[in-house]
Amino acid sequence: MTERITLAHGSGGQAMQRLIKERFLAQFDNAELARMEDQAQLALAPMMAAGDRLAFATDSFVVDPIEFPGGDIGKLAVCGTVNDLAVGGALPHSLSVGLILEEGLEMAVLDRLITSLAATARAAGVQVVTGDTKVVHRGSCDKIFINTSGIGVIPSHRQLGAHRVQPGDLILVNGTLGDHGAAILQARGELALSGTLESDCQPLNGLVEAMLAAGPVHAMRDATRGGVAAVCNEIAEVAGLRLTLKESALPIHPQVRGISEILGLDPLLMANEGKLVAFVAAEHAEAVLAAMRAHPSGREAAIIGAVEPAASHQVLVEGLYGTCRQLLMPVGEQLPRIC
């Protein structure tokens, strides 16, 4: 008989303790979690010099389907929060994991997702130190939702933020745009699209360290929901500047371009889960770009645009024939439950 999650697994009693001890602790293998107290206790003080800041980020994941080419909701849950920390210049340290499980979820599926989550955490060099498990009745959630929150340390000399972006900065990305959104669309199978597209879901903290070692970066954002369009509009608004992207410079996978053209979607609005947008002063841009290209997560990195002074903030895309179109903040939702 297929073993499944029952309401008892969320009870705080024996069934929940067994689930945690037998299925979760073995995967995470970490003394702090194994104490099973209500809170993790971390000796962070020795790691923090005077002036260092603590970074704190959270993300909930509701992606549908929960397993897709290139990843699953477990991998995504680690990447999302690790990347939110990393783009602020933080060294990610620890994660919490909050699971909301639907009664009836197959235990074998949960095992696969937790194994993937744990493997991704190891790859990113972060520890899962605290967690929580809730179970809701069949039909009250869709299979599994995961929240991860994360903490990390930002060395005092690292000062990144949208307000630091300057006229003259160049805009860099670490690879092809829209892969995650297109892979999810394809995985849903509603559109009879075939292809071999994979989500770009990956932790970016290693890449970020390589970039910051190569030169100063004014701001970074990971381009998840709303894609590069949302990031660029947010930065343009905070900095009060014009950002101009060059259509010809955008790295876009041919299959993503194909899907986008068929469906009338814009890869600049599509979600990524392993791509960041960085703003770097022109004199350091080539060095940072070279460091990105030398890293496995940045082989197809490119300079895609530049920052200019402007009377009012805006984001433009310069087309192949020199004409410009305005790239607006996405209004609604191209693809619900993309992450």
Query: Using CB under 8 A, which of 4, 8, 164, 216 touches a copy of itself?
Result: 8
Distance CA 190, CA 339 (A): 18
Q: Kind of pairing, strands 324-326 and 314-318?
A: antiparallel
71 to 130, contacts with a copy of itself by CB under 8 A? 83-85, 87-88, 90, 94, 96-100, 129-130
39 CB-contact burial (10 Å; exposed 0-12 / middle 13-18 / buried 19+):
exposed
124 to 183, contacts with a copy of itself by CB under 8 A? 129-132, 134-137, 139-142, 145, 147, 149, 151-152, 154, 161-162
Nearer Cβ to a copy of itself, position 58 or 261? 58
Cα torsion angle, 173, 259, 69, 28, sign: positive
Query: Using CB under 8 A, which of 3, 17, 106, 108 touches a copy of itself?
Result: 17
Query: Using CB under 8 A, which of 221, 242, 253, 275 touches a copy of itself?
Result: 221
Q: Please report how close the Cβ of residue 130 comes to a copy of itself at its closest, in angstroms.
A: 6
Q: Does 49 bind a copy of itself (CB under 8 A)?
A: yes
Q: Does 3 bind a copy of itself (CB under 8 A)?
A: no
- Please identify, among the stretches 57-65, 70-78, 171-179, 306-314, the one whose residues bind a copy of itself according to the rule CB under 8 A: 57-65
β partners of residue 110: none
Q: Please report how close the Cβ of residue 187 comes to a copy of itself at its closest, in angstroms.
A: 17
**263, 189 Cβ separation under 8 angstroms:** no
CB atoms within 10 A of CB 158: 16
Nearer Cβ to a copy of itself, position 35 or 157? 35
Q: Does 212 bind a copy of itself (CB under 8 A)?
A: no
- Please identify, among the stretches 23-31, 192-200, 240-248, 331-339, the one whose residues bind a copy of itself according to the rule CB under 8 A: 331-339
Give every strand in the sheet of 242-246, ordered side by side: 219-222, 276-281, 169-173, 302-308, 242-246, 314-318, 324-326
Q: How far does CA 166 lie from the centroid of its chain?
A: 25
